[in-house]
Amino acid sequence: MENEKNSTKSTVHNTDSYLQSLMVTKTLQESVMRSAIHALDLLPGSQGLDVGCGIGLQAIMLAEAVGETGHVTGVDLSPEFLDCARSIAEKAGISEQVSFQEGDMNNLPFDNDTFDWVWSANCAGYAA
């Protein structure tokens, strides 16, 4: 039982540290990601999927790119990351254009043709 408590505590600590590092490095990656998203020339009003969205930073940029009539759904395995993503989207004033849900990239819970496009970045190294 003691090992289970330590394991849970360690996971939360690691998650907190990782979240903090993502926020610190955000400014280093933001211009590159914005350039990549701009190069995609996403259609205004389109529906997109961000697989492995983490804390939602790129999903928010994608939602900005598709405009007020578009929508981006972010999917990630981590409930902690998704909670953070929702909070960031709310603070950015874009929560109507982006939503987040728990899911596995190997078994996505969506019907075919639900999305116009799919984005995935920085999550391949975490696949089990």
pTM of the complete model: 0.78
Residue 122, pLDDT score: 77
> Has residue 116 been placed in a domain?
yes
Number of domains into which the chain is organized: 1
Residue 75 host element (H or E) = strand 71-76
Over the chain (128 residues), the average pLDDT of each successive run of 10 is 39 61 69 92 97 94 97 95 95 96 93 96 63
pLDDT at 11: 41
Would residue 17 count as lying in a domain?
no
DSSP state letter for 124: G
Contact assessment for residue 98 and residue 89, using Cβ atoms and an 8 Å cutoff: yes
What is the C-alpha separation between 56 and 125, in angstroms, rounded?
17
Local structure of residue 53 (DSSP, 8 states): -
Question: Domain range spanning residue 35?
Answer: 30-121
CATH of the domain at 87: 3.40.50.150
Q: What is the pLDDT of residue 14?
A: 67
Per the domain annotation, does 4 fall within a domain? no
What is the pLDDT at residue 79?
94
Question: What pLDDT is stored for residue 93 in this prediction?
Answer: 95
- What is the length of the chain? 128
